[in-house]
Amino acid sequence: MDRDAIIAASKKHDIVSGKPYKYGTAGFRMSADLLDGVAFRVGLLSALRSRKLSGQTIGVMITASHNPAVDNGVKIVDPMGDMLEQEWESYATSLVNAPTHEELADYYQKLADTLKIDLSSPGKVIAGRDTRPSGITLVTALADALAATKTEYIDFKILTTPQLHYLTRCINTAGTPGAYGEVSEVGYYKKLVEAFYRSLRGRKVTGTLSVDCANGVGGPKLSELLKHHDSTKTGLDVKVCNDDVLRPEVLNLDCGADFVKTRQRAPPSPKPAPGDRWCSLDGDADRLIYYWVDPDTGFFMLDGDRIATLAASFIADLFRNAGLDGQLRIGVIQTAYANGASTKYVEQHLQLPVVCTPTGVKHLHHAACSYDIGVYFEANGHGTVLFSPDAVQTFKTKEPQSPAQKDALETLSALADLINQTVGDAISDMLMVEVILAHKGWSLRDWAMTYSDLPNRLVRVEVGNKDLFQTTDAERKLSHPAGCQDEIDQCVKKYTNARSFARASGTENACRVYAEAATRSEADELANKVAAIVKKYGGE
């Protein structure tokens, strides 16, 4: 290894000392001012990771998703487009926290030695970034690390997070039987649009869809996709809104999926006309929330739980129609934040199994892989549907016994191409929702009628030390601090159909409390009481 080259390059990209850096659920994410050295060091780690995996390409995405414009983040993508393997998260944390340039170079060498990585073998890394201006300098830091370690590097410039995941998988599967697609942004648009046509099977989407793009990267990318789409074929008429990426300060400001989900209301601008169909993406286009504003009853939101139930019910029907019932296994993966009514609907009405995992896409994705079809969504709109290679093969090779079976098999096959298999993708998920609604002939209101959500409340609680709060049972219970869960249980018992849990946030210095109950006032009251318990146990 060229130790001197690494040290010299590192000196141009200092870390801000005294900050505890941790590779969390969303990689490293914080104020962009603190990230130059972090991006450099992530470059070193991705170079190691690529060489460890026989030179397969690693992806690096620079984004802070729904955070304010002044923040940024750096995240590593593994060769198949999934999240960085968990064990490597702690290597990333240690590498980024090395106190001096020399210790950094030493730790890099030590990792190579213990992991038996041949530093003279070829390595390759690709990068993408969202529209934040700070992304440009962070990419330079990353590129400097890759140059210092003689790692091949391609900068794909501005991308949505799911596009970077797509490209990573495409590069690593190119020329193999599992080739995922053309290695280009245009290849992504062509693949999605072609699969959208095939999935609709001649049906037409009705009603304009206005898409709030959070003034983030999803805006220009959605407009780009639409250039490849012929609306006369599909009926899909998209109005791209909140797509101002020239004024960085408006990113995620009073708009986007996170705003809609947490405020439980439509963005104030542009004002949705009563009855219009709307959806919102987040700042890096990996979250999706649908809604409309009813002239009588007001705002109604269809979140990740609703998208999961819609997809699961449609796919389960296609399974029956294709004669695949009992042959392949479908499962739905949720987190503790899923509304209890959605879980009940999947288990009792759709008769499908539900698995609960801790918060964070990687946990859901992992659990979904154990099904032939794994439908996973967080309530906040992150999610996708995974099809196993076996399932995809079956759709293609099963001999249909009737025209209806043939139709169902071809629809399933098209859906497997339409739905991003690497990570939740708001644009791909949106096309999936449009396909399903067109097949079912449903409006958003029909979709909303499938079940009624339990009223719920999410509260953020500032505590002295959030690390005191440790969970078990997929975050549904606290194991520590001792006594806290008992008090929560005693409190929940007093309400009808109620559930509540508390956990330390993985992205902020606070705890979160979720409560649901039979009525709005009970849910609010329960959330406040549990928040008070958490505060009491939370340290000075």
69 in helix, strand or coil?
coil
**Does residue 343 belong to the site contacting Mg ion (CB under 5 A)?**
no
Q: Which stretch binds ligand 16G (CB under 6 A): 55-63, 130-138, 244-252, 377-385?
A: 377-385
Member of 65, 342, 359, 485 binding Mg ion (CB under 5 A): 65
Q: Which stretch binds Mg ion (CB under 5 A): 57-65, 310-318, 348-356, 506-514?
A: 57-65
Between 26 and 141, CB nearer to Mg ion: 26
Report the C-alpha gap between 532 and 172 in whole angstroms.
50
90 φ, ψ (degrees, to nearest 5): -75, -30
Q: Which stretch binds ligand 16G (CB under 6 A): 229-237, 343-351, 475-483, 504-512?
A: 504-512
Between 26 and 143, CB nearer to ligand 16G: 26
**Paired strand residues for 378:** none
**Does residue 109 belong to the site contacting ligand 16G (CB under 6 A)?**
no
Q: Which stretch binds ligand 16G (CB under 6 A): 49-57, 113-121, 257-265, 353-361?
A: 353-361
457 φ, ψ (degrees, to nearest 5): -145, 135
Member of 36, 130, 243, 286 binding Mg ion (CB under 5 A): 286
Between 32 and 328, CB nearer to Mg ion: 32
**Does residue 95 belong to the site contacting ligand 16G (CB under 6 A)?**
no
> Binding residues for Mg ion, how many (CB under 5 A)?
4
Q: Which stretch binds Mg ion (CB under 5 A): 149-157, 285-293, 294-302, 323-331?
A: 285-293
Q: How far is the CB of 39 from Mg ion (least distance, A)?
A: 18
382, interface contact from ligand 16G, Mg ion, none, CB < 5-8 Å by kind: ligand 16G
Member of 168, 359, 413, 420 binding ligand 16G (CB under 6 A): 359
Burial 263-294 (b: 16+ CB within 10 A, else e): eeebbeeeebeeebbbbbbbbbbbbbbbbbbe
Please classify residue 28 by burial: count the beta carbons closer than 10 Å to its beta carbon, then call 0-12 exposed, 13-18 middle and 19+ buried. Answer: buried
284, interface contact from Mg ion, ligand 16G, none, CB < 5-8 Å by kind: Mg ion
Q: Of the candidates 142, 89, 150, which has an alpha carbon nearest to the alpha carbon of residue 118? A: 150
Q: How far is the CB of 63 from Mg ion (least distance, A)?
A: 7
Known catalytic residues are: 65
334, interface contact from Mg ion, ligand 16G, none, CB < 5-8 Å by kind: none
Member of 206, 223, 505, 519 binding ligand 16G (CB under 6 A): 505
Structure tokens at 404: 């209806």
Between 69 and 412, CB nearer to Mg ion: 69
**Does residue 467 belong to the site contacting ligand 16G (CB under 6 A)?**
no
Between 57 and 359, CB nearer to ligand 16G: 359
Eight-state DSSP code of residue 483: T
**Does residue 258 belong to the site contacting Mg ion (CB under 5 A)?**
no
Q: Which stretch binds Mg ion (CB under 5 A): 47-55, 69-77, 141-149, 277-285?
A: 277-285
Q: Are 81 and 165 within 8 A, CB to CB?
A: yes
Q: How far is the CB of 506 from ligand 16G (least distance, A)?
A: 3
Element (H, E) at 46: helix 36-52
**Does residue 435 belong to the site contacting ligand 16G (CB under 6 A)?**
no
Report the C-alpha gap between 55 and 306 in whole angstroms.
40
Judge if the upstream peptide bond of residue 248 is cis by omega within 30 degrees of 0: no
Q: Where are the alpha helices (DSSP H) in 250-388?
A: 257-263, 304-321, 340-344, 361-368
249, interface contact from ligand 16G, Mg ion, none, CB < 5-8 Å by kind: none
Q: Which stretch binds ligand 16G (CB under 6 A): 138-146, 211-219, 358-366, 466-474?
A: 358-366
Member of 284, 378, 453, 522 binding ligand 16G (CB under 6 A): 378
**Does residue 425 belong to the site contacting Mg ion (CB under 5 A)?**
no
**Does residue 507 belong to the site contacting ligand 16G (CB under 6 A)?**
yes
DSSP output for 304-317: HHHHHHHHHHHHHH
Query: What own/partner pairs with CB < 8 Å and gap ≥ 24 does 187-190 have?
Result: 188/163, 189/224, 189/225, 189/227, 189/228, 190/228
**Does residue 130 belong to the site contacting Mg ion (CB under 5 A)?**
no
Residues 6+ positions from 264 with CB-CB distance below 8 Å = 299, 301
State the CB neighbour count (10 A cutoff) for residue 206: 16
Q: Are 255 and 263 within 8 A, CB to CB?
A: no
Member of 508, 509, 521, 528 binding ligand 16G (CB under 6 A): 508
Amino acid letter, 256: G
Q: How far is the CB of 358 from ligand 16G (least distance, A)?
A: 9
361, interface contact from Mg ion, ligand 16G, none, CB < 5-8 Å by kind: ligand 16G
Between 89 and 284, CB nearer to Mg ion: 284
Burial 381-403 (b: 16+ CB within 10 A, else e): bbbbbbbbeebbebbeebeeeee
CA 59, distance to chain mean position in Å, is 16
Member of 30, 104, 148, 361 binding ligand 16G (CB under 6 A): 361
Q: How many CA atoms lie within 13 A of 526 on its CB side?
A: 29
Member of 165, 382, 466, 499 binding ligand 16G (CB under 6 A): 382
Report the C-alpha gap between 121 and 112 in whole angstroms.
12
Residues that bind Mg ion (CB under 5 A): 65, 282, 284, 286
Residues that bind ligand 16G (CB under 6 A): 25-26, 359-361, 378, 380, 382, 505-508, 512
